[in-house]
Amino acid sequence: MTPADGDAPAEERLPDTGSVDVVEPGEATDVVEELARETEAAPAVVERLLIALDIDGTVILEDESLSPGVVDAVEHAHRSRHEVMIATGRSWEGTHGILRVLGIAPEYVVCSNGAVVLKRVGGQEDSTGEPRYDRWHVETFDPREVLTLLREHLPDARYLVELPDGTRLYTEYLEDWNLVQARRVPFDELAAQRVCRIVVVAPEQGEQDFVDLVARIGLHQVSYAVGWTAWLDIAPQGVDKSTGLERVRTELGIDPAHVLVIGDGRNDLGMFRWALDNGGRAVAMEQGPQEVRDAAGETTTSVEAGGVAAVLRRL
């Protein structure tokens, strides 16, 4: 058909559709992969979450290997614009290496079961080339009464205290302890000044033995948690991971309901209650004690099975 008199040619009436490039099959594959990356890098708009992860038994196994899939899952959460951080009973010396292997540099890190909160210092690096963190908030207590009481009942235990500046003092070497920036001292020196935390390890005691001991002797004016080994961790009264996390949440301006915490131990009970009481999520690892799983709002698979990754990939 030819255009009627006075009509513009058909090609002039069609809308401008741009140009089409014909590429070779190999180049087409590259184009498809690039489009897939761009799609993945532009997630749907979601509410920003504060995600706090425990370390031992949550992101790493007992042999210090990473839980399957956790690094990729943390990266996925970051791409979704969530704030992924660590909330641990470990000191900073035992924590910063975990940040490195996870590939994160959060603005804040909660250490020593909430007694120490560290803050990243701008774009500065420390002497090792890693992001620099300062001790932003530190809680302390007088350890004399607690140490005296514990020594009466556990004379053969190994004791460690953390000082406000991060220095740690210990009575006897223990293979499981990271003793960087630590020194061995007589027991009496442990109580010479205020501390952030006390750690007691009694290898001859079972987990339930420790639970029963704490109930029997009573520990007043402090907070405490019994670990999944013969491990007792003592912090200032009213201090646990939740108190440190609440300070972080406030500073970041994240809604209280937009919190997700994941852990496996009794020292995670405080942050579980904090998250749930504010409408957030608390997830326990499958291998954790029954009382920990009961306290959480939900349970994921074990650390060996990649429980954290399973939760984060669904965000």
Residue 3 has pLDDT above 60, yes or no: no
Query: Please, what sign has the CA dihedral across residues 283, 52, 139, 225?
Result: positive
pTM of the model: 0.83
Residues 6+ apart with CB under 8 A from 133: 92, 96, 109, 118, 119, 120, 121, 126
Q: List, in order of start, the domains of the chain with CATH numbers.
A: 50-139+239-312 (3.40.50.1000), 144-236 (3.30.1240.10)
| Residue among 49, 107, 111 nearest 77 (CA) | 49
Q: What is the pLDDT of residues 211-269, one digit of tens each?
A: 788 788 877 667 878 765 678 899 999 999 999 999 999 999 999 999 999 999 999 99
Q: Which residue has the tokens 């250490």?
A: 111
Q: What is the pLDDT of residues 156-193, one digit of tens each?
A: 999 999 999 999 999 998 776 778 889 999 999 999 99
pLDDT band at 17 (very low <50, low <70, confident <90, very high): very low
Helix (H) or strand (E) holding 198: strand 197-201
Which residue has better confidence, 135 or 297?
Answer: 135
End-to-end Cα separation, the chain, in angstroms: 57
Average pLDDT rounded to a whole number, residues 258-281: 97
Burial of 117 (0-12, 13-18, 19+ CB in 10 A): buried
**Count of all residues that appear for the chain in the document:** 315
